[in-house]
Amino acid sequence: MRKMQIRIIPALLLIGVCFLCSCGKEEILFPYNQEENGYQQYNGMELTKRNGNILSAQADYSEEAESETENEPVSEPEVLFAQYYEFSDGTEGFIGQLPTTDSYELPLSVTERGYTRLSPGGLTKFLTADVALDLCNENSDYEIVYHAQMIEGIENMSRAYLNDNVQLTFRQLMLAMFALDANDAASALVQGMGITKDDFVEKMNEKAGDFGAAASCFTNGTGASDEEQYTTIYDMYLIISHSLLSDEVYEAFQSLGEEGEYASADGEIIYNYEWYCENEIQNGFFEINDFTTLGGFVTVGTDSGYSLVYYFTDNFGTRYVAIIMNAPGYEAGYNNLRQLVEETMQ
């Protein structure tokens, strides 16, 4: 196999000029192109544009703000390992540790995270799953009726080929969505939760914001091509790592598939299905020495290339997720994923 060349993006030092003003606010200045990359906040602080590529963030360091927290116990945030890679063939890679607490930080500057605007493609389904899970109150037996018109306009995308006017559980749709990258299943989750598609998408963007994915915008729940739907590989790391912390999402994500049945909405017709995952990570063909595979996902899109997610642990049980986006082909995607993990985790 041809070895792909990796170029590690060097860290750019954040050049800061800080001063205290009479109102107790500290202004932090640093180089970054907000218009190109879409960042609106930095560490929870609103950004405003100054001169050229300098952004300004206001942090409150007043005596009043300090007094509110001085008596509260302070725990050190968990520092997570993370690394961004850019490959010579245009592929982007990101590998990061999963958090074990609600308080954590990534020791990466904005420019070290990978801020190229990318199409999320089928990786969108991780966010779709998280929103749908909230709407069904984490009830895996929640029943949803699927209609064929739910996939209008995306008929040529990957599907589970669900029959028209049938009733499935939330768990079945999640399984089909991850095992088969099934867009009919994703559409059923978006349109079968009792709210409009627009409201579902609004919740997706709210959820992404909650995860810290500030440079992303979502317009649909399948990952269908749309120039107004975009993300960065760092944002997808935040979304995917948070999503995998859910037991329901992880169960579907790591499943090899199953045989089962579902019924027509009136219960009169029973349909059998066989949904089995075909990606090499799930099927055990993609293995890396010294690491244990927990699950994988592979998707391809017309404007997003090949994207892969590899969820694994090291010998100490620490969990990591490695992500490949915009790979030019199937083989390149797997080769770059292997190189990303092996060279980063040495």
Same-domain status, 296 and 185? yes
Q: Are 301 and 119 in contact (CB under 8 A)?
A: yes
Same-domain status, 105 and 53? no
Same-domain status, 46 and 128? no
Measured between alpha carbons, how far is 101 from 181 in angstroms, rounded to an integer? 30
Does residue 4 fall inside a structural domain? no
CA-CA-CA-CA dihedral for 22, 26, 29, 34, to nearest 10: -110
Same-domain status, 196 and 313? yes
Q: Are 188 and 150 in contact (CB under 8 A)?
A: yes
Residues 103-117 have a mean pLDDT of 86
Report the half-sphere exposure of 126 (CA within 13 A, side-chain side). 28
Range of the domain at 70: 11-77
Q: Are 278 and 158 in contact (CB under 8 A)?
A: no
pLDDT (tens digit, 9 = 90+) per residue, 250-307? 999 999 999 999 999 999 999 999 999 989 999 989 999 899 999 999 999 888 999 9
Measured between alpha carbons, how far is 342 from 346 in angstroms, rounded to an integer? 6
Last residue of a domain, one of 55, 77, 99: 77
Question: Is the whole model's pTM more than 0.85, yes or no?
Answer: no
Would you say residue 57 has pLDDT above 70? no
pLDDT of residue 72: 60
Same-domain status, 182 and 307? yes
Would you say residue 325 has pLDDT above 90? yes
The token pair at 238 is 């935040």
Helix (H, G, I), strand (E, B) or coil at 322: strand
pLDDT of residue 44: 45
Give 244 or 9, the one with higher predicted confidence. 244
What are the φ/ψ torsions at residue 319 (nearest 5 degrees)?
-95, 140
Report the half-sphere exposure of 152 (CA within 13 A, side-chain side). 4
- pLDDT category at 53 given cuts 50, 70, 90 is very low
